[in-house]
Amino acid sequence: MTHASDTPAQRPDIFDRMRAGEQYRAEDPEIEARQRAARRLAARWATAYHEDPDTARPLLAELLGSLGEDAEVRPPLHLDYGSHLRIGPRTFVNYGLTALDVADITIGADCQFGPHVQLLTPTHPLEPEPRREKWESARPITIGDNVWLGGGVLVLPGVTIGENSVVGAGSVVTKDIPSNTVAVGNPARVVRTL
């Protein structure tokens, strides 16, 4: 936790701590400034994408932690920082991805995302007082290679979805999904092995 007596020189990087799962307050000025910068860059990319997706690609690469070769993302893209989001090669992300990348979000190669998928790394305390005080934390999300997330899938903090898996449209993924399976529902449960 950050203490009021910490000076910037003494204070460990807040983003490293957030990515490590430590508690933070979202109204921290550093956090707000980085989020505003990411939103501006995402808006510039979206505008450029509508003119020419190929010439817009360098803006997207600048926004994200990494963007694999031949990966395609369609706007709008809603994210916190962008720099904690990595998208593997040949992955296709349809319109309206929300990737709240307080902790790392890693998307493998050859994945397919339907429209309006949500990848949410932040979480809030269950206890009322810390929640009232606006404390938050985050846990990473990992999507393996060749995963298909149907439209409207919601993936919660700390979840790993194994390679070659399929998650049905509208599912809410609350726990890890093994490789080579099909999962559906709220909460998502495995209904088939591939």
84 catalytic per annotation: no
Q: How confident is the model over 46-71, as a mean pLDDT?
A: 97
The per-residue pLDDT for 26 is: 86
Catalytic residue among 50, 78, 116, 124: 124
Full-model pTM: 0.92
Q: Please give the angle made by the CA atoms of 172, 175 and 179, to the nearest 5 degrees.
A: 100
pLDDT digits (tens, 9 = 90+) for 39-57: 999 999 999 999 999 999 9
pLDDT digits (tens, 9 = 90+) for 140-162: 999 999 999 999 999 999 999 99
Residue 35 has pLDDT above 50, yes or no: yes
Q: How confident is the model over 83-105, as a mean pLDDT?
A: 98
The single-letter DSSP state of residue 164 is: T
What is the C-alpha to C-alpha distance for residues 166 and 72, in angstroms, rounded to an integer?
19
Q: What is the pLDDT confidence band of residue 1, given thresholds at 50, 70 and 90?
A: very low
Terminal CA-to-CA distance of the chain, rounded, Å?
44
Residue 10 has pLDDT above 60, yes or no: no
Backbone angles phi, psi at 107, to 5 degrees: -115, 125
Domains of the chain: 14-193 (2.160.10.10)
Q: Confirm if 78 and 98 have CB atoms less than 8 A apart.
A: yes
Residue 2 has pLDDT above 60, yes or no: no
